[in-house]
Amino acid sequence: MEQYLYIALFSPLVGSIIAALFSNTPKKLSIGIISSAFLAVSLIATLNLLYYVYTTGEAVHVNMMDWIVLGNVNIPFGFIVDQVSVTMMVVVTIVSTMVHIHSIGYMDHDVSFNRFFAWLSAFVFSMMILVMSDNFAGLFIGWEGVGLCSWGLIGFWYHKEDIKKSKDIKASPYSTLSPHSAISPSWAANEAFIMNRVADLGMLIGIFLIFWNIGSLQYNVVFANVSLLPNEIIIAIAVFLFIGAMGKSAQFPFNTWLANAMEGPTPVSALIHAATMVTAGVYLVIRANEIFMVVPEVGYVIACLGAFVAIGAALMALVASNMKKIIAFSTLSQLGYMFVAVGLGAYWVALFHLATHAFFKSVLFLGAGNVMHAMNDEINIKKMGGLKKHMPQTALIMTVASVALAGIFPLAGFFSKDLILEVAFGTHSYILWTILWITAGLTAFYSFRLIMYVFYGKEKYDTEQKHPHETYTFVIAAMTPLAILAISAGWFEHQFIDMVTHVLPLLNVHVSDITFYTLIGVTTTIALSGIAFAVFKYNKDGEYYGNKFQDNFFYKLLVNQYYLPHFWDIVVCKVYLVLSKFSWKIVDLKVIDSLVDGVASRVIDGAEVGTSMQSGNLSKSLKWMGLGILVLLILVLVFSSVR
């Protein structure tokens, strides 16, 4: 099985290198095909590994080479494919392969077609290192790799100008309260990169604490010894690791970058912001579950934060008009669900929802890309309407995905989301259950608000300027497997449990049959009510929210993301700018530069005095020689008297 591990890991890297070699050449369709083919090879190898792990129950563990060997420090470059990592590998390779194929059509007319595939495949390679590594150091390398690649992909269209930059180059992207304001892709990329680096510092401290107290970063060694550490050290490790997870998975207060990251190409959103990078934080907590299980009090805080983010993001999605941001807020909300599960100790349930969510959320993003292409890059759902007759296949696929997101039986979202609600109720976390239950209704509502605005009702666009049409057939073909998995992935719940509980603890939640079916009933009822309410309100005029409540305080609060971006702008960015200007004008120019320039001036003055000694006049030279001899004699006398 070792060869399959290497094929699964390095195939995306080979595709990235090939695309990078032609990154500055004109578009070559073959580059997209080759990159997609290498992803397909990685997918096939991953499925072989899945079959082996599932049938034998054994993990594939290889040490590729020695990596860091310094004194007693020995960190190998090793990889492990067990029940947890292979699940992530399957999700990453399936979604990535379909996104690569979709991107061939989406990026068809982009002049940087080749460069896009170089970044995209490099991202997949970094993600595979992250999930396959057998130690925290390797995980961190992949962690930073996906951060770098996401920066390149979010800011891929870096040439686009910030709309406010042309008016005032000093203006902040958050200087307006308009919900339709746009920022430049390069600004969004920098925000995502910097905000994640801040959170990654916390993760790095956690890794240092692990090594300092245990002397190893290998998972098996760390997990075998972590319970022997003092409780306060374990709490510190768990907290700092979770800070890193908060950044990657865009949890409060690091959540603002995710919505702005929608400035990148839509396939990037489907890959990074639905199925892979943003779930890396959840994966970290799941992988390090033996650390978090020792300190359940930290886990409960994680669960509370997850519930807070789940309902907070769902409320923002209610009033958003940017199609991609609605789906992004939905991703934030579902990540909150996953953190509730891991916080309550249901690690396998969180992994199950991570997998099912990846399929229906990625296909929603890809469908949004189809709509944008058909509408000349229009992103405001209030300027669409009636697209079902022009794009029936995209409408069907996005509707199916929305039903799965709403958690309606028998689609995938029903099984995984219902399990999280069952865990919350079964662990007597009734407040958390109530919050998630309300969020389930909101999710169903905003999902079908988007569907009704985009595909039904009156046409709200200029029919003479825009001529919507269905996308390429092969693009629809690439979305179809994801749509099928959005329907059927939940049907394999029992097989999934049997596989992953070899590694993850099986949380025993005791709920009677009556309670179990009652929970399903009330959850399904609120989800169906949300769908029905959206269909009823938006079927005709599609203007229930928006014009009617724009002056409402609550509406302004939501449309401005609780003013958290403005808080970051005022408290962090502007303060940092003031400190930077002070450091530049006072510390740098007046202190450091003055000191360096003063030393240089004294050297120059001394050199000018020294030039008079080299006049070529024999009389002056003899005088200087005599003076030098006199100074030397004086020094000899002084030192001899000291002795």
Model confidence pLDDT, tens digit, residues 467-476: 788 888 999 9
CA 2 to CA 459: how far, in whole Å?
56
What is the per-residue pLDDT for 607? Answer: 76
Label residue 47 by pLDDT band (50, 70, 90): very high
Span of 9-18, 162-171, 178-187, 310-319 with lowest mean pLDDT? 162-171
Tell me which of 224-228, 627-631, 636-640 is least confident. 636-640
Worst-scoring range by mean pLDDT, 66-70, 170-174, 332-336, 337-341? 170-174
Residue 374: predicted pLDDT: 87
Alpha-carbon distances, residue 87 vs 2, 212, 287, 575 (angstroms): 17, 31, 12, 44
pLDDT of residue 628: 84
Q: Which residues contact 239 (CB under 8 A, 6 or more apart)?
A: 202, 206, 298
Give yes or no for a contact between 216 and 284, defined as CB atoms under 8 angstroms apart: no
User: Residue 513 is encoded by which pair of tokens?
Assistant: 């049959």
* The two structure tokens encoding residue 70: 């310094």
pLDDT at 514: 86
Segment 388-447, tens digit of pLDDT: 888 999 999 999 999 999 999 999 999 999 999 999 998 989 999 999 999 999 999 999
Q: Of all residues in the chain, what percent are helix, strand and coil, respectively (each to 5)?
A: 75, 5, 20
Q: Across the chain, what does the average pLDDT equal?
A: 87
For residue range 567-595, list pLDDT tens digits in order. 888 888 888 888 888 888 888 888 888 88
Q: Each residue of 260-292: b (16+ CB within 10 Å) or e?
A: bbbbbbbbbbbbbbbbbbbbbbbbbbbbbbbbb
pLDDT-derived band at 548, boundaries 50, 70, 90: low
The residues, any chain, with a CB within 8 Å of residue 158's CB and separated by 6 or more, are 184, 185, 186, 189
| pLDDT, tens digit, 9 for 90 and up, residues 311-327 | 999 999 998 889 999 99
Give 511's pLDDT tier (boundaries 50, 70, 90): confident
- Give this prediction's pTM: 0.86
CB 31 within 8 A of CB 107: no
pLDDT at 8: 94
CB atoms inside a 10 Å sphere around CB 393: 18
Q: Is there a contact between 241 and 203 (Cβ–Cβ < 8 Å)?
A: yes
**Tens digits of per-residue pLDDT, 229-256?**
999 999 999 999 999 999 999 898 888 8
Max Cα separation, the chain?
116
Range list of β-strands (E), 29-92: 60-70, 73-81
Q: Is 555 exposed, middle or buried (0-12, 13-18, 19+ CB in 10 A)?
A: middle
- Structure tokens given for 26: 């004109």
Residue 109, phi then psi, degrees to nearest 5? -105, 10
CA angle 269/275/281 to nearest 5° reads 105
Compute the Cα dihedral for 338, 339, 342, 343 and give only its sign. Answer: negative
